Structure 1
Amino acid sequence: MGTHLNRARARFGTDTRGLLEGGRHALLHTRTLEFDELRPYVPGDDVRDIDWKASARSGSVLIKRFVSEKHHKILLVADSGRNMRGLAPDGERKCAVALNVLGALGLITLGRADEIGMVYGDARGSLRARQRRGENHIESMLAGYHTHTATPGPSDIVHQLTYVATHYRHPLLIVVVSDEPDPDDRLGDALDRLTARHDVMWAMIADMPAVEAGRGGYDVLSGRPVLGPAAVDPRVVAAYRSAEDRRTQHLAEFMAGHGISHATIAGSDEIRRRITAMTRVWSRAG
């Protein structure tokens, strides 16, 4: 495996069984060679599946059924703008956590022969990697994302979501990877367009709190302290934490209202647990 996939595997592990099963859309049904059972022939069945010996013994025409596999067409949609240069709660840059999340999702597809592509970018525009299979393809996508985060423009994940809604017509499983978005009408309109056609999940990389152990956070765009000396004022700290609780609850309700399974990830060590929970909720919803 390449550098980026190996880093993701070190955090996520190698056991991907049971992940990304289910869902409403984006399923390609193929047949394996593993025999399942015999059943009576009905008009429209493939005559090549008739078991002539079993039919002769039973006196009726019987069809061989085979175990089916379900493969997804997956599209990763990632913010590679300036917001992702900020710090996550564990002290990692959010873009580094996001890269490991994207890599973990790529690892899941390898054992399932899923096709996976990616759209990423910022307010300046979107870049696209077409859907393909295999380690080399996934590593190339990750490398492209990593390169873009080195010289980012302003973040605007709605720009990427709108691009996908406009250019991707066939049903897909879409996994968005970004920081925590602002749940406003503009985002809601973009999600309405997407969820009408696609399955959508969202892995959100959390921000370093603006108040942490008596220190103030900083604005990733300007580098200036968010609270300055007020970061040690107990009243300011309490008000900040109360506002964060309300914001988090509002965001969760917004995502639930649009039928989007989501996870908030504070650092790379949480990736396996959070992605597993997110995909299980999505599978049950399907």
Structure 2
Amino acid sequence: MGVHLDRARAHFGRDGNGLLEGGRYALVHTRSLEFDDLRPYVQGDDVRDIDWKASARSGQVLIKRFVTEKHHKIMVVADAGRNMTAAAPSGELKGDVAANVIGAMGLITLRRSDEIGMVFGDARGSVDVRLRRGETHVEHMLHRFHHHVGTGPASSHVLTQLDWVARHQRRPLLIVVVSDEPDVDDRLDGALTRLTARHDVMWAMVSDTPAIGSEEDDGFDVADGRFVFGGAALGQGVVDAYRRAEGQRRERLSEFMVGHGIPHTVIGGSAAIRTRLIAMTEVYARAG
């Protein structure tokens, strides 16, 4: 594998068969009735697929595996703007966490030979990486994303990328959005209404380091360069009010996504990618 995919796999997990099988079946909800073989049960599998007789004979829970009717066409929609140059709660750059999320999605597709593409960019516009299969293609996607984030991107505006997909992608796709946590407003509502009418959508959000969570350090906003006071300068009352407001904002955002039928997750660092993506795809599988 290439350097970017190797990095994603290191965070996504080395338990290749178990983890990728679970992710694979979480992402697939269209299959034929043609039996293929048996495999051990993985958390998130449909219990209706358990072969009870074979499980009793073997002493472990076994799942019937069926031949899939078709491969998925997965389109990653990624924010590659200035917001990705900020720090995540883990201390990593948000762009590095986002790249590892994209790489994890690519790893899931490799076992099934799914097609995967990407639309990424910033407020200036979008770059379209066409749907293709294979490890070399996924590595190329990740290289282009890293290069864009690392070479002075414009301000983030993921609606630009969502609008591009809504205008240009007419075939039904599984769309996986990778960005920071968006602001809920009428424009986002309209964009998701258009997208979910034609496509399945999931959203993986890379969270920010809390703006005033530090007791001592001041900082700045990468979006506009404005100075941000740390907790010591503002006082505990302001910090507490900020934390309450952040909790309410995230609750509103989650309710908004649920209202649009969009499985979603918030990821604070690369170490959480495996568990958060599996949880998100399980919601998608149940919805299907």
Q: Report the TM-score, using the length of structure 2 for normalisation.
A: 0.83
Aligned-pair distance for 1:230?
5.9
Farther-moved stretch of structure 1 (222-231 vs 157-166): 222-231
- Partner in structure 1 of residue 108 of structure 2: 108
Q: Which of the residues 227, 232, 235 maps onto 1:233?
A: 235
The amino acid across from 1:226 in the alignment is: V
Q: Does the CA-based 8 Å contact 2:263-2:280 persist in structure 1? A: yes
Q: Quote the residue 1:21 is aligned against.
A: 25
Residues 214, 231 of structure 2: 8 Å contact kept = no
In the TM superposition, what is the alpha-carbon distance from 1:210 to its structure 2 partner? 1.1
The equivalent residue for 1:269 is: 271
3-state secondary structure, aligned to 1:74: strand
Report the equivalent of 2:50: none
- Shift in CA distance, 67/266, structure 1 to aligned 2, threshold 3 Å: closer
- 1:219 maps to which of 218, 221, 228: 221
Q: SS where residue 19 of structure 1 aligns?
A: helix
CA distance in 1, matches of 2:147, 2:32: 36
Displacement of 1:225? 2.9
Tell me which amino acid in the other structure corresponds to 1:276. I
Match of 2:228, SS state, is coil
Greater Rg by CA: 1
For 1:9 and 1:35, locate their aligned partners in 2 and report how far apart those are by CA, in whole Å: 27
1:205-234 CA distance string (max 9 Å, x none): 000001233034420134443235764501
- Using the size of structure 1 for normalisation, the TM-score is 0.83
In the other structure, the counterpart of 1:68 is 67
Equivalence for 1:12: 12
Worse-superposed segment, 88-97 or 230-239: 230-239
What is the CA-CA distance between 1:35 and the residue it aligns to?
9.0
CA contact 2:119–2:126 (8 Å) conserved in 1: yes
Specify the alignment match of 1:91 in structure 2.
91
Q: Identify the residue that residue 188 of structure 2 maps to in structure 1.
A: 187
List 4+ stretches of structure 1 deviating above 4 A. 22-25, 29-36, 228-232
> Structure 2 matches for 1:15-164, cutoff 5 A?
15-21=19-25, 34=36, 67-69=66-68, 70-150=70-150, 151-164=152-165
The verdict on how the C-alpha distance between 1:67 and 1:281 changes in structure 2, with shifts beyond 3 A counting, is closer
Residue in structure 2 matched with residue 60 of structure 1 by the alignment: none
Q: Is the 8 A contact 2:213 2:230 kept in 1?
A: no
| Conserved? CA contact 2:12–2:273, under 8 Å | yes
1:208–1:217 Cα contact (<8 Å) kept = no
Deviates more, 1:8-17 or 1:102-111: 8-17
Query: For residues 271 and 226 of structure 1, do their structure 2 counterparts lie closer, same or farther at Cα, with a shift above 3 Å needed?
Result: same
How many residue pairs are counted as aligned between the two chains?
Answer: 255
Unpaired segments ≥5 residues, structure 2: 39-64
Q: Which moved more, 1:159-168 or 1:67-76?
A: 67-76
User: What is the CA–CA distance in structure 1 between the aligned matches of 2:28 and 2:195, rounded to whole Å?
Assistant: 14
Contact 1:23 1:284 (8 Å CA) reproduced:
no
Is the Cα contact below 8 Å between 2:212 and 2:230 reproduced in 1?
A: no
C-alpha distance in 2, partners of 1:196/1:92?
Answer: 35
Stretches of structure 1 that go unaligned for 5 or more consecutive residues are 37-65
Q: What is the distance in 2 between the residues matched to 1:140 and 1:105? A: 14
Q: 2:172 aligns to what?
A: 171
Aligned Cα RMSD in Å?
2.3
- Superposed displacement of residue 72, structure 1: 0.7
Query: Displacement of 1:154 after TM fit?
Result: 1.0
Greater helix percent: which structure? 2
Q: Which 10-residue stretch deviates more, 177-186 or 218-227?
A: 218-227
* 1:108-165 residue CA offsets vs partner (Å, 9 max, x unmatched): 0001111100000011010011111100000000001011101201111001001001
1:142–1:243 Cα change, 3 Å? same
Partners of 1:32 and 1:148 lie apart in 2 by 44
Task: Please give the alpha-carbon distance, in whole angstroms, between the structure 2 residues aligned to 1:224 and 1:180.
Answer: 19
Percent identical pairs in the alignment equals 56
Residues 80 and 122 in structure 1, CA contact (< 8 A), matched pair in contact too: yes
Distance change (3 Å), C-alpha of 1:270 and 1:16: same
Measure, in 2, the Cα distance between the counterparts of 1:118 and 1:229. Answer: 39
8 Å Cα contact 1:75-1:119 kept in structure 2: yes
